[in-house]
Amino acid sequence: MNASRQQEETNTKALSGAEVLLRVLVEQEVEVVFGYPGGAVLPIYDALFRQNRIRHILVRHEQAAVHAAEAYARSTGKVGVVLVTSGPGATNAVTGLVDALMDSIPLICLSGQVPTALIGNDAFQEADTTGITRPATKHNYLVKRPSDLAPIVREAFEVASGGRPGPVLIDLPKDITVGNAPLPTSGEGRLHRRYAPRLDADADAIKQTIAAMKRAKRPLFYTGGGIINSGPKASEGLRELARRTGVPVTSTLMGLGAFPTTDKQFLGMLGMHGSYEANLATHGCDLLIALGSRFDDRVTGRVDAFSPNSFKVHADIDPAQINKIIKIDVPLLGDVGRTIEALLQAWDGEGQDLSPWWAQIEGWRALDSLGFQQDMSPEAIIRPQYAVRRLYEMTQRLGRDTFVTTEVGQHQMWAAQHFQFDKPNRWLTSGGLGTMGYGLPAAVGAQIAHPDALVIDIAGEASTLMNIQELGTIAQYRLPVKLFILNNRYMGMVRQWQELLHGSRYSQSYSEALPDFIRLAEAFHGTGLRATNVGELDGVIEKMLAHDGPVVADICVAQDENCFPMIPSGAPHNEMLLGPDQEANAAKITQEGMMLV
């Protein structure tokens, strides 16, 4: 230890490790922690009890704590913080950590650990948390010395939010939090390592991109969640870039809201359940500029047939993503918001006439690939697309700031297709990991972050049951979350794949014994509503939106409805299933494609 460090620690007050931890969290402007107590973290909970700067939200499961913190982070742009105990507390959090890692969500997960002297002795509730979470986090730490505590926590926040955001875990042995620990007086603390991701793309690469844009006759912006992670200015820059260049825009699932989905230049999502025009534009463009997107397999489909004739530019802050899946002609390594700003500064408005390209796109758009027919007689079965569309239309009338979370499955895709998002950070879903049970705890996190906003979890009945215990959290904090269940009694997407890939043998995808969702809501001190036909739908939505407390709306929808358009797994973007009438003539699903599902 050098002299200055000795002096610094000499100048500190005698605080417990738990108190030091909370002081650094306050220093990092943490206002909310989502967690669940246990023996190894009781000193931290005791310190929380004796302060009033940080609010703790008691969830009912550690996985839910991470999803709530994810939504808090994604909807605010701040770092989400989770507190769990050792052993099962930490392992229960792993699913959420992987979810945050794949979707690039900045998180700090504080996990309790047995005292350092017992590590490796198979002590009660001991788990090798750093070993288990190494591939599940952007970085993790085991605090072995009290003097390391404050610097590690400070560094962890920089790692979580810097570069490509992600989850960082800090494992805290109980003796570290019980015993005294120094709190260095310097505001910044010392970093163990230099973490300085590159922020500005190479100037020559910007010139090459502009030259490609000037000669392109069929350009396309393919946008992703990186734009939202970069902050509101990145979304504003994208809107300006699209307006000034006239280039059409498509988006990944995670990027929805970065560009207004009601804008005429928006083609809809691309990929497996993307729109006809977005997928054909991706296949037929001569310049593809990927902005903050990572060429996920649900987007690319068959890699060797992905946008086969385009010149490809990829803007991403993570160098590991460049040329990882798709060969790139020009890499733009840096923060995507700053890259967009550089492109705006370099663009002089002189490009090709794009009217023939737009005419072709409008021809594809005329197919109305997201269209559906709803029988409007009062007793008619509700089609799930119609339920989402009506939910969107009726929320628009309220004019409230609205956040939508989802679970994972068919309902998620219908929500992405039929609920419109004109602002970033309002669409909160599990994209990379596809975590069933994400939406309800995510709604908790979004509602805590935005107490006056309307927060709706669009759910499937199977997925929502995976974390239904969070109705208890919602009740405890009187959160006015609306749970909008599209109930078809099936694991809908599983059923759809079984129909397409396995001869309609619906093995274990039907739920024989669902709960009565109205009584379930009442058991958790909420309000339950149900619509079983078209004539009841609007009334249920109206009551749900008007109620100032939590509501579970059970919307009974057509059981055999499938989600279209759909690119069969393993097929290129120009081979889509557009609906039941066209399935017989569509591309065949190959053995290789079956393995990609």
Residues whose CB is less than 8 angstroms from the CB of residue 459 and which lie 6 or more positions away in sequence, other chains included:
406, 407, 411, 439, 440, 483, 484, 485, 486
pLDDT at position 1, please? Answer: 45
pLDDT above 80 (res 507): yes
pLDDT above 70 (res 192): no
pLDDT at position 10, please? Answer: 46
More confident residue, 104 or 500: 104
The confidence band for 577, taking pLDDT boundaries of 50, 70 and 90, is: confident
For CA atoms 63, 68, 69, 71, give the dihedral sign: positive
pLDDT at position 51, please? Answer: 96
Neighbouring CB atoms inside 10 A of 51's CB total: 12
pLDDT at position 133, please? Answer: 98
Give the whole-angstrom CA distance, residue 464 versus residue 468. 6
* Per-residue model confidence as pLDDT tens digits over 216-258: 999 999 999 999 999 999 999 999 999 999 999 999 999 999 9
Active site residue: 78, 174, 312, 482, which one?
A: 174
% of the chain at pLDDT higher than 90? 88
The yes-or-no answer on residue 491 being catalytic is no
The yes-or-no answer on residue 421 being catalytic is no
Residue 519 burial by Cβ neighbours in a 10 Å radius (0-12, 13-18, 19+)? exposed
Residue 536 burial by Cβ neighbours in a 10 Å radius (0-12, 13-18, 19+)? middle
* Per-residue model confidence as pLDDT tens digits over 258-273: 999 999 999 999 999 9
Tokens standing for residue 466: 């995976």
pLDDT above 60 (res 585): no
Give the whole-angstrom CA distance, residue 24 versus residue 27. 5
pLDDT above 60 (res 191): no
Note if the bond before 565 is cis, omega within 30 degrees: yes
pLDDT above 90 (res 72): yes
Parallel/antiparallel/unpaired status of strands 32-35 and 55-58: parallel
For CA atoms 347, 352, 358, 360, give the dihedral sign: negative
Please, what is the average pLDDT of the chain? 93
Active site residue: 62, 158, 461, 470, which one?
A: 62
* Per-residue model confidence as pLDDT tens digits over 453-505: 999 999 999 999 999 999 999 999 999 999 999 999 999 999 999 998 899 99
Mean pLDDT (whole number) for 159-175: 97
pLDDT above 60 (res 125): yes
Active site residue: 7, 13, 124, 345, which one?
A: 124
pLDDT at position 572, please? Answer: 84
pLDDT above 50 (res 96): yes
* Per-residue model confidence as pLDDT tens digits over 343-354: 999 999 899 999
The confidence band for 594, taking pLDDT boundaries of 50, 70 and 90, is: low
- In Å, how far are 30, 252, 280, 469 from 475, measured between CA atoms? 24, 34, 46, 10
pLDDT above 70 (res 298): yes
Rounded to the nearest 10 degrees, the angle between the axes of helix 17-27 and helix 42-49 is 60
pLDDT at position 188, please? Answer: 53
pLDDT above 80 (res 4): no
What is this structure's pTM?
Answer: 0.94
CATH of 203-366, one of 3.40.50.1220, 3.10.105.10, 3.30.9.10, 3.40.190.10: 3.40.50.1220
User: The domain 15-181: what is its CATH number?
Assistant: 3.40.50.970
Long-range Cβ contact pairs of 191-198 (< 8 A, separation 24 or more):
191/151, 191/154, 191/155, 191/158, 192/151, 192/152, 192/155, 193/155, 195/155, 195/158, 195/159, 195/162, 195/163, 197/162, 197/163, 197/164, 197/317, 198/317, 198/319, 198/333, 198/334
Q: Please choose, from the candidates 297, 288, 277, 211, the residue with its C-alpha nearest in 3D space to the C-alpha of residue 247.
A: 288
Tokens standing for residue 264: 């005429």
Mean pLDDT (whole number) for 502-531: 96
pLDDT at position 407, please? Answer: 97
Please write down the HEC assignment for all residues of 66-78. Answer: HHHHHHHHHHHCC
Mean pLDDT (whole number) for 87-110: 98
| Spatial strand order in the sheet of 427-428 | 427-428, 402-406, 454-460, 482-487, 551-556, 527-531
Q: Tell me whether the CATH fold assigned to 203-366 matches the one assigned to 384-556.
A: yes
Parallel/antiparallel/unpaired status of strands 219-223 and 139-142: unpaired
Parallel/antiparallel/unpaired status of strands 180-181 and 15-16: antiparallel
The yes-or-no answer on residue 174 being catalytic is yes
Phi, psi of 354 (to 5 degrees): -95, 5
Parallel/antiparallel/unpaired status of strands 249-251 and 266-269: parallel
* Per-residue model confidence as pLDDT tens digits over 387-430: 999 999 999 999 999 999 999 999 999 999 999 999 999 999 99
Residue 567, classed as helix, strand or coil, is coil
Active site residue: 436, 493, 566, 576, which one?
A: 493
Please state the domain extents for the chain.
15-181, 203-366, 384-556
The yes-or-no answer on residue 423 being catalytic is no
* Superfamily of 384-556 according to CATH: Thiamin diphosphate (ThDP)-binding fold, Pyr/PP domains (3.40.50.970)
Active site residue: 125, 352, 360, 476, which one?
A: 125
The yes-or-no answer on residue 1 being catalytic is no
Tokens standing for residue 221: 């912006």
* Per-residue model confidence as pLDDT tens digits over 107-119: 999 999 999 999 9
